Structure 1
């Protein structure tokens, strides 16, 4: 339990002002769109005294930089940046003493090794929290195929209410449940109004959309909930129901803040245990791209607003949130020379194409060129003819809906495969053929090659800058997670943050745990 004690000590001494000022000072490291590396001349922001050191780093040096490996002769400012970033990062090593639950072969069917790792450890943590909160019912929000709920039911006999918005997952979970669990203790709910949603950072699914968060108690008297003009919790909800624990494994975007609001307002929900992901999918305000649900705590909000008042051009926006949701240094530290070469070409070649788009007289739609699309979102609630307990639990559904559109799918379309990055010639040929076929216009290959020759030497800055981003990644994710914990604490609810997964296997490993 030493890791937990260390993390609790870090949280108790967490300095919001220091973290925010640090991120403001070094926003040039993260506050840009990757494909605009050349267009925005990002490398020019790197201090000159850092450049010689960063460009001389070997592959091993690059991999170790986010861990704090540095040399005495390096510039004092660079060493100070590294030390501060490490100091402001939350510990990510899984707590000791958590015994993963065994998963029998029948229940393992369909689970990837990553999912087995997550479910076996999350189940153990959830059981511990349920005992502390004296809960009889588990509300699994965004339950997917039901892996987590089925394991909890099988090992501990909890009544599980799995809430999932994707019909295919609900059907799959029901098929699995017939073979693995006691059906009278497992309820699976899927409202017909919901469309496809993001599910635990599955990169294979191209899901675009926005999220609305319900910030008032549910009205169970109608089929559709319409938010009023004041998104505030105006009254507590008192329900005569069994004590319930609300859980979520990889809660996308605004889902964690939504669960926090319901946890705070519903008396029968006595505990919360969730692991967040996809921070960049939080709904943002039109005009400045800052999220509605950050910051949440009064402590962070006061400092953040003051800094933004002094420097209106700075914010924790989409680019910062995206970096917070990226892989951690644990995977970066295992990169090979081939991995670094591919990443350099991937960023560099796409950046040249973006530069071409802005310097060419003709305007063409290519990857990343589409502007953001506003998609209407409504608040939904579903009635049920099952027992009152299940009916009320449905009011705590994911409460967000992603809407696909052809424009979104087109914006996210890849115009080159991994094999096309073997050389710039191969990339241009592949990109040109696909864009010309789809857009019906020609591409000036000579101009593309001219831009490449002018800028290819700047590609050497890509990996050193990425190493600096890996130093800021845990600072950003720690800020978001700590802000959420502080918000609950400000409302008088005991809250802690515990790393529960191996970050190499599952980078989003910080569990937000709260008990009333």
Structure 2
């Protein structure tokens, strides 16, 4: 079964690479260069004739249409139908997870957040908590933690021990100041300056940090009535890490995945990537 599964994955990967290579003119550029490099001029004229007549909502729905594009748009050229069909076949399931609901973040916890950040933190916190509980992790390490918005919610609402890693010393101090203003004065919520890179030195430094990290088993936020949390978080001295990152910019995304692959104490990863055009 395992061999069959791996062979199936290899076939999917090769088909995806073949598809991407054939249509590299539609993706092989920085997102911010769509207009400056006149990328849209690469669209086949027979496609453009039909696509430009779509409403914005219809254009946005193309990757998600459940019926055949031939049924909905019979006048379209066969090449466009084939493109949409292959893209849909090779895509992962895009359906929203139904058993995850956003964390309730009140105005006090959301202080300083923009509406967009508030929305992101609410959903991300709920997803991370679900992953932590399912994997029995007892420590969350947030890469690129910024001002600590997500970390503070994860600790305040779910009682998780959280370590925020930041490249900016200023952000570390600001996150610590915000934690105090939120009443989070225990050492189960911490921030530190740490540069994530994709190399052996970083992996070793990360392991050393985790090994030497000292967290109390519990605090006033560790047990919340009616809130699901991981029991092991309160009873084990060894660290089982859930590595997370909200808006891991450019190369940071691949570095996070390498860290997950090389460091044994990391048992789960939850990464929201961004700024793909900055990847080297």
TM-score, with structure 1 as normaliser: 0.40
CA deviation after TM superposition for structure 1 residue 58, in Å: 4.8
In structure 2, the residue matched to 1:427 is none
Change (3 A) 1:168 1:54: same
Question: Would you say the 8 A contact 2:198–2:259 is kept in 1?
Answer: no
Cα separation, 2, equivalents of 1:67 and 1:277: 21
Cα separation, 2, equivalents of 1:153 and 1:76: 53
In structure 2, the residue matched to 1:417 is none
In structure 1, the residue matched to 2:230 is none
Unaligned runs of 5+ in 2: 1-7, 209-236
In structure 2, the residue matched to 1:18 is 15
- Mapping for residues 183-262 of structure 1, pairs under 5 Å: 183-184=185-186, 185-190=188-193, 213-215=198-200, 217-218=203-204, 241-262=238-259
Change (3 A) 1:72 1:247: same
Match of residue 139, structure 2, among 124, 137, 140: 137
Change (3 A) 1:71 1:157: closer
Question: Would you say the 8 A contact 2:141–2:162 is kept in 1?
Answer: yes
In structure 1, the residue matched to 2:265 is 268
| 1:36 is aligned to 2:33 | no
Local SS of the residue matching 1:163: strand
Match of residue 171, structure 1, among 170, 173, 178: 173
Unaligned runs of 5+ in 1: 1-10, 195-210, 223-239, 284-516
In structure 1, the residue matched to 2:81 is 79
Q: Comparing both chains, which one has the higher relative contact order based on Cα–Cα distances under 8 Å and sequence gaps of 6 or more?
A: 1
Change (3 A) 1:106 1:19: same
In structure 1, the residue matched to 2:95 is 93
Please give the per-residue CA displacement for 1:15-74, whole angstroms capped at 9, x wherever unaligned. 11222212222222333553132xx9x73x54454354345x254565555555552122
CA deviation after TM superposition for structure 1 residue 187, in Å: 1.2
Cα separation, 2, equivalents of 1:272 and 1:124: 14
Q: Which runs of 4+ in 1 moved over 4 A?
A: 11-14, 60-70
CA deviation after TM superposition for structure 1 residue 14, in Å: 7.4
Match of residue 129, structure 2, among 92, 114, 127: 127
Cα separation, 2, equivalents of 1:136 and 1:54: 50
Cα separation, 2, equivalents of 1:65 and 1:266: 40
In structure 1, the residue matched to 2:117 is 115
Change (3 A) 1:67 1:124: closer
- The alignment of Structure 1 onto Structure 2 pairs a total of residues equal to 232
CA deviation after TM superposition for structure 1 residue 156, in Å: 2.3
Cα separation, 2, equivalents of 1:177 and 1:253: 28
- Mapping for residues 284-323 of structure 1, pairs under 5 Å: none
Question: Would you say the 8 A contact 1:174–1:188 is kept in 2?
Answer: yes
Name the Cα RMSD after superposition: 3.1
